[in-house]
A and B are shown apart, each in its own frame.
Chain A
Amino acid sequence: MIMERFLRSPFTMSVFLIGLAVIYSMSIVLEQRNNMTTIIFVAYAIFVIIYFGTMVYFNRKFPDRKIRILTFIPYELKEEDEGHQYITYRACRKVYIYYYFAIPAAIVAVSLFRKVELLPVITLTVLGIGQYFIFWSEVKKLYE
């Protein structure tokens, strides 16, 4: 189901993360608000509205497959049965191993290039995208 895949995709989550990083970076780099920052902010707001609007529509259309909007469990985690739980376990294990090495590497990178003002936010964004990519690389097995 395309709609559900969009809502639960780690790549959709990456867009949320990248959007936040871009908005934050622009607020740091540009001293004054200009058209570009307004456009990016509005585009991000539209994306958020579309995302949650789609979720509301999906929940109405498929009440038996409802996605909880207010939840502490990330939307991309699908645990409908033991097969899904197994894939989630494998994906989370991979992500843990990734962070085991990536966090120290990120700390070293940020310490080495302390003068680069945006490096912390860039590093966090790259770490997050890596996490989503690794998670997706495992979860895609469900659809192969």
Chain B
Amino acid sequence: MRNKVKELRARHNYTQSDLGKLVGATRQTIGMIEKGDYAPSVLLALKIAKALRVDLEELFWIEGEDE
């Protein structure tokens, strides 16, 4: 699974900690998601999408499929 969390987070000028606080996760978890080391739960993914004001499909997608 790939994602645009880092890019969109930067666009909002959020640090990993800021985003973590908004969605109830730690900075480390946000970092792992950005690196693709961890696929978040649907609930956390939805919270991140909401915090970054985008649709879920715009934020996360399956590798090999069109962005």
Contacts and interface: CB of A to CB of B under 8 A. Distances in A.
Size class of the contact patch on chain A: 10 to 19
B40 to A, nearest CB: 7
Size class of the contact patch on chain B: 10 to 19
A81 B26 CA distance: 7
Contacts of B24: 81
B56 interface: no
A143 B41 contact: no
B8 interface: no
Interface string B27-40: 01110110001101
Contacts of B44: 82
Given A80-B26, A84-B26, A141 B40 contact: no
Interface string B45-56: 000000000000
A55 B60 CA distance: 40
Contacts of A80: 26
Interface of A: 80-84, 86-87, 141-143
